[in-house]
A = this chain, B = another copy of it.
Amino acid sequence: MRCVNLDMALHCGRLGLMNAATQTTGQATRERLLQAAARIVARDGMEAATTAAIAAEAGVAEGTLYRHFDSKDDLLIASYRQMKQEVFIGAGQGLDTSMAPPERLKLTWKAIYLAYRANKDAFAFGHRFAESALAEREGGEAGRAVARMVGDLRKAGIASGDFKNLPPDLLGGLFMAPISYLLKAEMKGRKWTEVELDAAADSVLAGWRR
């Protein structure tokens, strides 16, 4: 049972009655705050991510938040960076970079799509955060991993003569944009079949091909 609000906190034994054993949970608390923030934004939007809501969702007191972060905004930014990191570690695993670029593009595209789909909360959070004014304070560091992945792919394909020689950011856009679009549709209830996903990957590939 998770401690998500005051009532449940009673049952979880965390109402000012901590002993020496439970007091060394500093890192764990920080972690719970990061995840709580992401969960709330994903579920109810940036506006809903108040300090009170985040603390309640994490099962800690509001004041505790400020022991781990300087401000609410700092917490949200930290949460965003961590999420991006985790999703792309997952997506990058097991991708063979030695195969032919067209094939590799399709597999990479699907891998990123599936990584996000496996964690829709992460995607919803990321999207909402990115559209908020807070994104400007983040500095864009979080997106660098994606850019590198796509950039490597592009180089290989241009070298092999498979892909158009277009700027990396343009090809990156043509690659990532449909992923976002399809995932947003999924969040609204649309279920894409395997065939449709494959067709989408084919279309992205067709857009890159010479």
Which residues of chain A have a CB within 8 Å of any CB of chain B? Answer: 44-48, 127-128, 130-134, 164, 166-167, 169-170, 173-174, 176-178, 180-182, 185, 190, 192, 196, 199-200, 203-204, 206-209
Q: Give chain B nearest CB distance to A135 CB in angstroms.
A: 9
Q: Mind listing 27 A-B residue pairs with CB under 8 Å? A: A45-B132, A45-B133, A45-B134, A46-B46, A46-B47, A46-B132, A47-B132, A48-B133, A128-B131, A131-B131, A131-B132, A164-B203, A166-B196, A166-B199, A167-B196, A169-B190, A170-B196, A170-B199, A170-B200, A173-B181, A173-B185, A174-B178, A177-B178, A177-B180, A180-B181, A204-B207, A207-B207
Among A45, A166, A176, A181, find the residue whose CB has the most chain B CB atoms closer than 10 A. Answer: A181
Q: Please, which residues of chain B bring their CB within 8 A of the CB of A185?
A: 169, 173
Q: Please, which residues of chain B bring their CB within 8 A of the CB of A196?
A: 166-167, 170
Q: Please, which residues of chain B bring their CB within 8 A of the CB of A178?
A: 173-174, 177-178
Q: Give chain B nearest CB distance to A26 CB in angstroms.
A: 30
Q: Please, which residues of chain B bring their CB within 8 A of the CB of A166?
A: 196, 199
Q: Give chain B nearest CB distance to A177 CB in angstroms.
A: 4
CA distance A203 to B173 in the complex (A): 11
CA distance A204 to B178 in the complex (A): 11
Q: Give chain B nearest CB distance to A179 CB in angstroms.
A: 8
Q: Which of B46, B169, B174 contacts A203 (CB 8 A)?
A: B174
Q: Please, which residues of chain B bring their CB within 8 A of the CB of A48?
A: 133
